[in-house]
Chain A
């Protein structure tokens, strides 16, 4: 607040300070304080923390299993994306490894969750560009994937499905057929999405060339995930440092050169297809076997530390767990992609028009709950 007020004095009086959020249809649980000069944004200061629940501190009071549900909540749309790295880190500390079948099921869940999350984002992006159909369609199709995930994980969104040593339960037997049927349907839908939204001149007018991020800036500022790939860098943790069994499947990393809002959208749309391709391959690779390495008694780690990163829906998710040999972790540090993309938002907003703000803001797929933890 004070900073923003100072900006006005510095730049000579013609400016206005706007508080966008936290109660604003276009902001979510987040506030950004923008200084506008006429129609142009000259200063942007994010004010996150409206959903800060202290997950890192709470994790020090719970043991490795009890930590799973509350660490899942920050990214409830991408529940497996956020619990998987935690579990992988915990596994390193407790020194267990999940059997192959469990790893494959984890991959299926992670990819399903990526689709669920991307579709939610697409719906929200649609409505904030004033395109109601693009809210309804992805939201409707998302339910199909939620059904699939629910048949494995048991609940709609909060599965707490991945546990140290494996996964909680096996897949239903007819899962492959159901999934393939859904994929067939959804592949056709992607074409329709393109027709109605992505190739729509109104949509491209609002997003092409808007919020362009330079490749150098993206690296310098620490942008991650699809936002980084839209700037022409084919970095994806699934390939860079493979975890689970991602090295056994073959998939592409969609990239774009432009780095604008449209590129970010298209990258995410193509990732939907890639996720389905991964799952199809996994269905062929997966073999019957145990799904869990049972750990007797309370899980206790060796004193030491471990850090793991994985590719969640929004980018690289990073966990650092320090253990002192007790049943609770000594320190859990979570570095979430949204939090790291936040700095990019400030960078992109300055210099753009106020009317482009929703187009830029939502194109970064910023999820405030995740950023605040």
Chain B
């Protein structure tokens, strides 16, 4: 395995130059970069990541941390058109409070996130402001329980 992290470090550096202490580099590994920020800066960070050449959201999801009372929201972004960046997966992450599960949508920057965000909405109850279709996608229309991927939802038969 080549462990040359030049490209990765360069990318991170260009972002830290721009955002200074508004972002935090979680880790830089071979082909993996993870950067966290607070809720307000997520959108501008996403814009900058897109300017670096990362163009598709390959995955977006949330994780529930009931102990800290937060949802962690992550976007994993890849590049398909530029040979040099193709091997890298860029993750941006933010945490939002469970009391006000609301965050601005990123679909105007990454249209590919549309269904992913809808899925996060129904699975965690996180509202994406500005998303045109905040409605059920995979769950049945008459779902009235708490969103299933929250940790306090216990599977039937496992309680």
Residues of B within 8 A of A58 (CB): 155
Q: A49-B140, A343-B115, A372-B138 are in contact. Are A233 and B81 (CB under 8 A)?
A: yes
Contact partner of A320 (CB less than 8 A), chosen from B76, B139, B153, is B76
Contact partner of A222 (CB less than 8 A), chosen from B57, B81, B148, is B57
Quick one: closest B residue to A53, CB to CB? B138
Contact partner of B111 (CB less than 8 A), chosen from A49, A240, A342, A343, is A343
Interface string of A57-86 (1 = CB under 8 A from B): 110010000000000000000000000000
Interface size class of B (residues with CB under 8 A): 35 or more
Quick one: closest A residue to B132, CB to CB? A3
Q: A320-B76, A330-B63 are in contact. Are A340 and B139 (CB under 8 A)?
A: no
Contact partner of B138 (CB less than 8 A), chosen from A52, A220, A307, is A52
Contact partner of B80 (CB less than 8 A), chosen from A219, A320, A373, is A219
B70-95: which residues lie under 8 A (CB-CB) from chain A? 74, 76, 78, 80-81, 86-87, 89, 91
Q: How many A-B residue pairs have CB under 8 A?
A: 93
Separation in Å of the B78 CB from the closest CB of chain A?
A: 8
A156-210: which residues lie under 8 A (CB-CB) from chain B? none
A310-368: which residues lie under 8 A (CB-CB) from chain B? 316, 318, 320, 322, 330-331, 333, 335, 339-340, 342-343
A57 touching B149 by the CB < 8 A rule? yes
A54 at the interface (CB under 8 A from B): yes
Residues of B within 8 A of A240 (CB): 86-87
B86-125: which residues lie under 8 A (CB-CB) from chain A? 86-87, 89, 91, 110-116, 123
Residues of B within 8 A of A220 (CB): 55, 111-112
Interface string of A204-235 (1 = CB under 8 A from B): 00000000000000011110100010000101
A48 to B140 Cα, complex, angstroms: 10
Residues of B within 8 A of A342 (CB): 115
Contact partner of A343 (CB less than 8 A), chosen from B55, B74, B91, B114, is B114
A335 touching B112 by the CB < 8 A rule? no
A339 touching B115 by the CB < 8 A rule? yes
B55 touching A335 by the CB < 8 A rule? no
Contact partner of B148 (CB less than 8 A), chosen from A3, A57, A61, A307, is A57
Residues of B within 8 A of A224 (CB): 56, 58
B149 touching A307 by the CB < 8 A rule? no
A309 at the interface (CB under 8 A from B): yes
A320 touching B31 by the CB < 8 A rule? no
Residues of B within 8 A of A330 (CB): 63
Contact partner of A322 (CB less than 8 A), chosen from B57, B59, B63, is B63
Q: A61-B155, A233-B80 are in contact. Are A221 and B112 (CB under 8 A)?
A: yes
Residues of A within 8 A of B74 (CB): 320
Residues of A within 8 A of B61 (CB): 320, 331, 333, 335
Separation in Å of the B28 CB from the closest CB of chain A?
A: 14
A320 to B56 Cα, complex, angstroms: 17
Quick one: closest B residue to A347, CB to CB? B111
B46 at the interface (CB under 8 A from A): no
A241 to B29 Cα, complex, angstroms: 14
Separation in Å of the B35 CB from the closest CB of chain A?
A: 14
A37 at the interface (CB under 8 A from B): no
A61 touching B158 by the CB < 8 A rule? yes
A186 to B21 Cα, complex, angstroms: 59
B137 at the interface (CB under 8 A from A): yes
Contact partner of B76 (CB less than 8 A), chosen from A61, A219, A233, A307, is A307
B13 at the interface (CB under 8 A from A): no
B138 touching A222 by the CB < 8 A rule? no
B32 at the interface (CB under 8 A from A): yes
A222 touching B87 by the CB < 8 A rule? no
Residues of A within 8 A of B110 (CB): 222
Residues of B within 8 A of A52 (CB): 138-139
Residues of A within 8 A of B136 (CB): 49
Subset of 7 A-B contacts with CB under 8 Å: A56-B149, A61-B158, A241-B31, A241-B86, A307-B76, A331-B64, A340-B58
A residues neighboring B (CB under 8 Å): 3, 48-49, 52, 54, 56-58, 61, 219-222, 224, 228, 233, 235, 240-241, 307, 309, 316, 318, 320, 322, 330-331, 333, 335, 339-340, 342-343, 372-373
In the A-B complex, the 9 residue pairs with the closest CB atoms: A222-B112, A335-B59, A49-B138, A240-B86, A333-B61, A52-B138, A235-B80, A241-B87, A222-B56
